[in-house]
Amino acid sequence: MSLRLKAALLILATMLCATAVTAALFAALQYNYARTMEEDRQHIILDDVTRVVGESQLAGDPLMLLDALRALIRRHDLLYARVRLAFGWQTLGSLPPAGQALVAVARQSSGEEAVELGFSRRAREDRLRAIRQSLGHHAARAAGLMALCAILLAFPLSATLTKRIRRIESALKAIGSGRREERLPALGADEIGRLAAGVNAMAEQLGELEQLKRTFVASVTHELRSPLDIMESYLDEILRRSQALSERDRADLLRVQGNARRLSHFVTNLLDYAKIERGKLDFAPRTADAAELVDNSVRFFAPKAREAGVALAAEIEPSLPLVRLDPDLYTHVLTNLLSNALKFTPAGGRIQVSLRRRANDLELAVADSGVGIKAPDLARLFLPFERISNPLRANGVGLGLAISRQIATLHRGRLGVVSEWGKGSRFSFTMPMS
């Protein structure tokens, strides 16, 4: 679950809880207020009765009191009213059955006259129930509206809250992918702002380390080239005078020469990679015939394939137009792909080289029936110095594919791979024809 979604759910839950609590408190306060108003209403009726009793006594007209009580029974929730006059008690309305707990009795007396009022508890409770239902209905509507507002506001608010964190995440991905120049703007003075400043400081230090590494690699490889060339020249010269060497000495020198060539190949690749990283690799594109380059490379590797017991074939689409590329670097990629295919294809296997048009692109592919590549290793296959495990224990320094991918990028193309463990691999170099 993403941080933005978590923040949105947290905001939504907080707003819903606040809405529910507020609605419940409001409904409780309104209900208590309604109950208080009901009690005040009864007190007002009693005050009115007291006033009417006093006026009736002053006027000496008991019928005035009876008419006022009848009007109160019609207008209010009175079950009955009993009046004590000079000639006795008179009842207005209906007395409740004996034992029925539906009557709240209130008496008011003044002099010889007395009034007893019976309030209906059921009517009062019905009225309070209606008020409670109305409050619940309105509270539910308010809560629904607030929930809708919370849903509409939660995601924009969460996006605002997590925007800076997502910018930091994006910058970290860019730095991790090799863009050491990536920097974050000032994101405030809080914890997130300080985190952004720390990311910038880290990127600065990584950039310095990267530059130091590139300078060191370029210096070391350059210094190694001269002595290695001299060593190879002396070894070639000594081996040419083989008459003065014993068989053992000759075998030892051939072993030394093989290791020197391996080291020289490694230094050459390392120097090429250092040039690519520093943007100083010689890239001289010109119009060339890719079909001829592929055919020459396949012919060069044919003897090595026969020696390894591997069938090597080429399939070149006829009438391909000339394209703009760097012949040396293009051949370098094909040579590296063929060399790897021979390393990882056992005797009896097959290597198929193809060159064909794909829409507006030119695709060079090298497919083999070798050991293949495991799915977890594909993600790091093109990283420098990465050597994946293989049952044939083929040697390598892990720079060839990294250099080839960079060369493909220089040609505005791409280098890809499709592989299945135990069934072989297919590497493809695709570049635009225009």
> Beta strands 311-316 and 350-358: pairing type?
parallel
Determine the average pLDDT of the residues in 393-410.
76
Model confidence at 105, pLDDT cuts 50, 70, 90, reads: very low
Polymer length in residues for the chain: 434
Residue 356 pLDDT more than 90?
A: yes
First to last CA, the chain: 45
Q: What is the pLDDT of residues 336-347, one digit of tens each?
A: 899 889 988 988
Q: What is the pLDDT of residues 121-138, one digit of tens each?
A: 777 777 778 888 887 788
| Cα-based angle 170, 174, 177 (whole degrees, multiple of 5) | 140
What does residue 424 show for φ and ψ, rounded to 5 degrees? 115, 175
Check residue 305 and report its DSSP letter.
H
Cα dihedral: 199, 200, 204, 206 (round 10) = 20
Domain boundaries, the chain: 1-91+102-177, 191-277, 286-432
* Alpha-carbon gap, residue 17 to 57, rounded angstroms: 60
What pLDDT, on the 0 to 100 scale, is given for residue 18? 80
Domain 286-432 has CATH 3.40.47.10: no
H or E element at residue 383: none
191-277: what fold?
Helix Hairpins (1.10.287)
What does residue 202 show for φ and ψ, rounded to 5 degrees? -65, -45
DSSP for 400-417? HHHHHHHHHHHTT-EEEE
Model confidence at 103, pLDDT cuts 50, 70, 90, reads: very low
Q: Which segment, 121-125, 274-278, 298-302, is predicted with the most confidence on average?
A: 298-302
* pTM strictly above 0.85: no
Check residue 384 and report its DSSP letter.
T
Q: What is the pLDDT of residues 198-241, one digit of tens each?
A: 888 888 888 777 777 767 766 666 667 677 777 778 777 777 77
Residue 350 pLDDT more than 90?
A: yes
Check residue 322 and report its DSSP letter.
P
